Amino acid sequence: MKKVSTYDSVIKDLFQRDRSSVLLDLLTGGVPVRQILNVELAKHLERRADAVFLLEDESIFHLEFQTRNDQEMPYREGIYCLLLGKKYRRRIRQAVIYLGEAKMRMQDKLDLGQTKVAYTLIDIRDIDAATLMASARPADLPLAMLARGGPEQLAEILKRAASLKDSERDKVIAEMAQLSGLRRLQGTPIMELDRMTSAIDIFRRIPKVQALIQNARLEASHTARVQMLREQLKAKFRTLPKWADEKLESATPLQIRRWSRKFATADTLEGVLGKK
């Protein structure tokens, strides 16, 4: 059974609210969505697809969202494809959007001999934030925050969210606050957000903005600790291998604190970070 991410329901709603988004248009090749399908597949397998759409060309488009690398993804997509094909007896198109912070390390195909699986795999950072920000669809603004250049344009994205009508504005900003945990927001964007909340009255009336800023401050503090430990490790052990950099990038605040304590007495890199 797919483990439910705390971000899944937010991301699913972004794609289903307007039955479209710039990113969804790109993935379907511009074929419009006719209907959103609420699909529960093979209860004995306990599988539920993230989002399934009936497109105007009569094909079924299945979209999955991933916030972490999953090496089992090709097998999962193969199972979903067969189950959807059996249920609808139509052409099945599939895509996986990766929204995580760590570098994407999943495969987009699987060859088992006579049986082959292939689907579109895209890191949302392959999409420029400006493309999503140019959209008139409110749901594209939280996605823009996750796209390439999004963290650097956070203040502008928030300004555009604030210009929406009341109910839509509050919803979009709340979604941004929730999804901000997927990105390490730091530096100038946070300073700009602090300035904006002090200068623009509307932000002081939206509690979720404060949650967004607090989350970003915590991430900025964590990033600073990671960088400090990285520099200490380089000074002691010289050049860091790729595996060490990857462990640092995906580390939790608790791990960073534990490794920092080990640093002073450890004689090897593995003594600080553990096994490769």
Who wins on pLDDT, 274 or 170?
274
Query: What is the span of the domain harbouring residue 163?
Result: 138-276
**Does residue 3 form part of some domain?**
no
Q: What is the mean pLDDT of residues 198-223?
A: 64
CB 233 within 8 A of CB 269: yes
- Inform me whether the pLDDT recorded for 211 exceeds 70: no
Is 64 inside a domain boundary? yes
Q: Express each pLDDT in 227-237 by its tens digit.
A: 899 999 999 98
Mean pLDDT for 85-92 is 94
pLDDT on residue 2: 46
In a domain, 234, yes or no: yes
In a domain, 186, yes or no: yes
Return d(Cα 126, Cα 124) in angstroms, integer: 5
- The reply to whether 48 and 173 lie within a common domain is no
Per-residue model confidence (pLDDT) at position 207: 62
The mean pLDDT value of the chain amounts to: 83
Domain end position, chosen among 126, 157, 188: 126
CATH number for 63:
3.40.1350
Q: Are residues 149 and 259 in the same domain?
A: yes
Q: What is the mean pLDDT of residues 165-176?
A: 81
Domain check: are 19 and 50 in the same one? yes
Considering the domain architecture, whether residues 113 and 197 belong to the same structural domain is answered as no
113 and 151 belong to one structural domain: no
Residues 60 and 168 in one domain: no
Domain boundary among 102, 126, 150: 126
Final residue before a domain boundary, out of 62, 94, 126: 126
Domains identified in the chain, total number = 2
Residues 43 and 172 in one domain: no
pLDDT band for 180, please (50, 70, 90 cuts): confident
97 part of a folded domain: yes
Distance CA 249, CA 97 (A): 20
Residue 247 or 183, more confident: 247
pLDDT for residue 209? 63
More confident residue, 140 or 169: 140
Higher pLDDT, 57 or 246: 57
- pLDDT recorded at residue 16: 79
Q: Say whether both 148 and 258 belong to one domain.
A: yes
pLDDT of residue 221: 80
Residue 187 has pLDDT above 60, yes or no: no
Do residues 114 and 153 share a domain? Answer: no
| Cα–Cα dist 1/233, whole Å | 39
Same domain, 155 and 273: yes
Q: Residue 42 pLDDT > 60, yes or no?
A: no
109-111/51-55 β-pairing: unpaired
The pLDDT value recorded for residue 4 is 45
Q: Are 200 and 79 within one domain?
A: no
Does residue 107 lie in a domain region? yes
d(C-alpha 234, C-alpha 239), whole Å: 6
pLDDT of residue 1: 41
Q: Is residue 2 part of a domain?
A: no
One domain, residues 268 and 157: yes
Above pLDDT 90, what percent of the chain? Answer: 37
What would the mean pLDDT of 74-100 be, rounded to a whole number?
94
What pLDDT sits at residue 29? 87
What per-residue confidence (pLDDT) applies to 177? 74
**Is 131 part of any domain?**
no
Q: 77 and 94 in contact (C-beta within 8 Å)?
A: yes
Residue 68 has pLDDT above 70, yes or no: yes
